[in-house]
Amino acid sequence: MVALLPFTPYRVLICDLRSDQLLDVLPLWGVSFDEFLGKTGSLRATVHLVTAELAARARAALVPGRTALWVERAGAIWWGGILWTSSLASDERGELSLALQAATWDSYLAHRMLYDTLQADGVDQFDIVRTLISYTAAQPGGDIGIEVDTAVSGVARDRTYSRYDQPFVRDLIEQLSRVERGFEWRIASTRDPDSGRRVKQLQLGHPVIRAGSTEVVLTRPGPILSYTWPVDATSKANVWQARGASTNRNQTAESVPLLSPLVTGEADIAAGWPRLDGSADYSTVEQQETLDAHARADAAAHLDPRTVPEITVRLDAQISPALLGATARVKVTDLWWPEGMTARHRIIGITVTPPERGRPESAKLLLEA
């Protein structure tokens, strides 16, 4: 995609990460970007440095680690994140290009460590997340403008995060989200409808993030251009055990980790499935109750592993990144489903490919059953 050409509704704003001051808007090619519930999204693009003036602008504005990128489509914010890497290349003709890779705002928390011990006793899990993000913002140079609300999940947690573990904040939030009765989270990129300013908004959902009050109907034949529908048992387990921190404080004795009881899917085995074992390490978890909650959550997730169908659709007025968490009703009629298949899936990811000459605009949706 060329971000500034008239045939495309997209443009990419280059801003200072901390102040969000607009630095430049450069022409970008080969742009694609994605966003997910449950993992970090990314953006890839290339700047063709065809003039000395364009090279000077790119050198001044595109500084990995301190530059924010916002993707606009027809004036609406569709993606936002941090430029982390750039790669300058020269071909055999001496033509220069700068390849860019960026990641959504949550990637910043993977670069922030907890240098102080934080303790929460009977605190709502959403408040623990907000405390962790507030901690990062309170340090000099640590505020990148992530905004939070006051919603609660109704699930209280006891947690102690030790400074001696030097954990990354994103890892703490992710681990907290994946315990029994956990939550989903993302940092959404939006525009304030009143002021027009760009917003990095923490979004929390218990047990999941849901969006939209009506279903999006997608059909093939119809707006579905292609699809993949995987069935994968490689991560299935019907017996699970979690392993925690060492319980031995005597350095002269053998170190023994904390273990959860075995969580067994007895009905699964009785139904004819072979025994399939699984485990996970939680090396900083020292409380048996917390470790057992992780084991139960992991066992439930792996007993019937989540498949993630992908459908590629034409972009129209009903498709945008705001659909993350919305329900799609998918209807397919083809040789595999000659009688027709109808299923409801929550949209948990979107990959957008803007138009280029000879390539139409499209979006790939990741679906959760």
pLDDT averaged over the chain?
92
d(CA 352, CA 315): 9
Contact at 8 Å (CB) between 241 and 361?
Answer: no
pLDDT surpassing 80 at residue 249: no
| pLDDT score, position 1 | 35
| pLDDT score, position 3 | 43
| pLDDT score, position 6 | 39
What value, to the nearest 5°, has the Cα angle with vertex 199 and ends 155 and 83?
100
d(CA 90, CA 224): 39
Bridge partners (DSSP) of residue 190 are 199
| Among 31, 18, 118, CA closest to 67 | 18
Phi, psi (5° rounding) for residue 266? -65, -40
| Residue with more model confidence, 247 or 77 | 77
d(CA 355, CA 230): 28
**pLDDT tens digits, 41-63:** 999 999 999 999 999 999 999 99
| pLDDT score, position 246 | 84
Type of residue at 19: S
The percentage of the chain sitting over the pLDDT mark of 70, rounded to a whole number, equals 96
d(CA 196, CA 76): 10
| pLDDT score, position 336 | 95
Confidence bin at 324 (pLDDT 50/70/90): very high
**pLDDT tens digits, 163-194:** 999 999 999 999 999 999 999 999 999 999 99
Classify residue 136 by its DSSP letter.
Answer: H
Phi, psi (5° rounding) for residue 131? -65, -45
pTM exceeds 0.95: no
d(CA 36, CA 203): 12
Residue 97 to residues 29, 205, 206: CA-CA distances in angstroms? 10, 41, 44
**pLDDT tens digits, 68-82:** 999 999 889 999 999
Mean pLDDT of 279-306: 91
**pLDDT tens digits, 254-265:** 778 999 999 999
Mean pLDDT of 263-292: 94
